[in-house]
Amino acid sequence: MKNVIFIAFSLLILSACKGKDAYQIGEKTKMEITKKIDAGTVALGEKVKTKIIVKNVGTYPLILAEVKGSCSCTVTDYPKEPIAPGKTIEIPTEIATSGVGRITKDVRITANTEPSITTVVITANVIGK
């Protein structure tokens, strides 16, 4: 009898904890993103600075699980909280330049989308000083 009362009480508490902002794990949404960014021309030694624009065009919150550059020279900062449907965010990126010529770097975004990994390619032309 005590077990039945405990289970009933636990279910009551758990159902009361669900707020209007709650979401279910496994819900897929859609994002709109530019997959190729040309950062133009920069001088050797300067950083290539760009912003990846991400818009949640789905019906569920967009959750960015990871945003990772193809090497250590790409730095990104991204929101850890869910992005509401219809909202747009910017992910700033910086790429250090170490040589002259055309550079190409990838940023991989893992999210609750289909497919779960989206790759953004950033290119720039590095010229001597």
Predicted TM-score of the model (pTM): 0.77
More reliable by pLDDT, 98 or 38: 38
Task: Please name the amino acid found at residue 82.
Answer: P
Q: What share of the chain in percent tops pLDDT 70?
A: 81
> Residue 116 and residue 126: Cα distance in Å, rounded?
32
Contacts of 49 (CB under 8 A, 6+ apart): 39, 92, 93, 94
State the pLDDT at residue 71: 83
Number of H helices, E strands in the chain: 1, 8
Homologous superfamily of the 24-127 domain (CATH):
Immunoglobulins (2.60.40.10)
The structural domains of the chain, with segments of one domain joined by +, span: 24-127
> pLDDT for 7-47, tens place per residue?
544 444 444 444 445 555 679 999 999 999 999 999 999 99
State the pLDDT at residue 24: 58
pLDDT band, very low/low/confident/very high, at 86 (cuts 50, 70, 90) = very high
Between the CA of residue 98 and those of 50, 104, 111, 126, what are the distances in Å?
Answer: 17, 13, 31, 9
pLDDT band, very low/low/confident/very high, at 49 (cuts 50, 70, 90) = very high
